[in-house]
Structure 1
C-alpha cells in the first residue's frame, strides 16, 4: 500500500472514523514522514522513532449522514464517516483544519539477568470534552521477548526465537561485537504507537 494511503487509513481509523466513499472519490491524502534512530556505540539495541503527519482542511460536511471530506494542499480529497463515538461532530465546520499525527517508537535491548518480564500490551484513549472541537489522543504499547538462539559472526547476524517458536534472523549493527555470551540471552522489543488528532477553526 502506498505510504499516503496507509497513513490516511492508519491515522483516521485510529481516530474512530472510517472511509465511506468509493475509490473513485478518494485520492488519498498526502503525508509527511520523519524518522530518527538513537543508540549507544557498541551496545546492542537502540531506539528508532518515526512520525507521520497529515494536514488537511474540511472542504465538505454532511451533518445528517455524519460524513466529511478532507482536502490537502495538493488538492487530494478523501471522504470519511464519523462513527457515534465522535460526540463533537456537530462542532466541525467547512474550513476547519484537521491535523493527524502518528508516532511509532521501537525500543530494543538485551534484558539483564533477573530483570522482570512484562510481555503484553497497554493502551490509553483520551477525547475532547463534549462541546469542544473534536480531538483525541490514543497510545498503545506492546512488549515481546525473544531469545538469542544463534549468532553468525561472518554475516554479523543473530537468530531470535519468539514465544510461539518462530525464528527470525536479524542484522546486527557493525559496531556491536557478537559475543558468545549473548546466546540464550533475552531480547526485549517494545513497540509504542501514538496518534493525536486536532481540529482547529481557520
Structure 2
C-alpha cells in the first residue's frame, strides 16, 4: 500500500526530534573527482494516549516533551496503536558530487519519490523517500576565493569548497552531477 509522502512529511514536522532521545551517524567519503556524505538520525517517543474518535495520538519523548499527532485516514492499521507503544522515526540523507570533465551532457534535474505503508494486520509503519539528480555546468572557478559557480537547469549557485586545492582540476565547461537522496521511516512498535 502507498502512504502519501505529504502525510509522512507532516507527521515528521510534528515530531520534535530534538526533544526525543536520538542517535545519529554521519559518513563522508571522497575519490578523485567525487565527494559524498551521508547521515542518519533516529529518535523514539512513547505513546501516552490514543483518541480513536479524533485519530489523535499523544506521544512523550524520552526528554519528557509531550506532543500530539493527528493520523489521517491514510494511516493504515490505526486501531493497532496502543498506549505504551514506541514510535521510532529515522531520517537519512546523502549527497554526492561527481565531476564530469568536458561537459557534454545536458543540464537537467530529475526527481523521483516513493512511499510505502504497512500491510493490513501489521504494526503501523510507513516510509517515504526522494531522489534528485542535477547536472550543472561549471561557469566559474575562483581559486583564490575557493569557490565554484554552477549553472543548473533553473538557476546558478556559487559554492564554497572546504579545501581550495580540490578545485585544481575543475575547469569552466566541466559539469558536476549532484545526487541527493533523503528518506524518512516511521514505525510504531511494542515497548
1:77 partnered with 2:71: no
Three-state SS of the structure 2 residue aligned to 1:119 is: strand
Three-state SS of the structure 2 residue aligned to 1:110 is: strand
Where structure 2 has 5 or more consecutive residues not aligned to the other structure, the ranges are none
Within 5 A, what are the aligned runs for 1:100-111?
100-111=89-100
Within 5 A, what are the aligned runs for 1:60-99?
60-99=49-88
1:14 partnered with 2:5: no
Query: Following TM superposition, by how much is the alpha carbon of 1:28 offset from its aligned partner in structure 2, in angstroms?
Result: 6.8
- The structure carrying a bigger strand percent of its residues is 2
Aligned match of 1:195: 184
Say if 1:29 and 1:13 are closer, same or farther in 2 by CA, change over 3 A: farther
The answer to whether the 8 Å contact 1:12/1:100 transfers is no
Number of corresponding residues: 183
State the distance in 2 between where 1:67 and 1:159 align: 48
Three-state SS of the structure 2 residue aligned to 1:137 is: strand
Three-state SS of the structure 1 residue aligned to 2:19 is: coil
1:49 partnered with 2:38: yes
User: Once the two structures are superposed, what CA deviation does each residue of 1:78-107 show, in whole Å capped at 9, x if it has no partner?
Assistant: 100001111210000000011010101111
Where structure 1 has 5 or more consecutive residues not aligned to the other structure, the ranges are 1-10, 21-25
Three-state SS of the structure 2 residue aligned to 1:182 is: coil
State the distance in 1 between where 2:6 and 2:23 align: 15
1:156 partnered with 2:150: no
Aligned match of 2:173: 184
RMSD across aligned positions (CA): 2.8
Aligned match of 1:136: 126
State the distance in 2 between where 1:107 and 1:139 align: 16
TM-score after normalising by structure 2: 0.83
The answer to whether the 8 Å contact 2:109/2:153 transfers is no
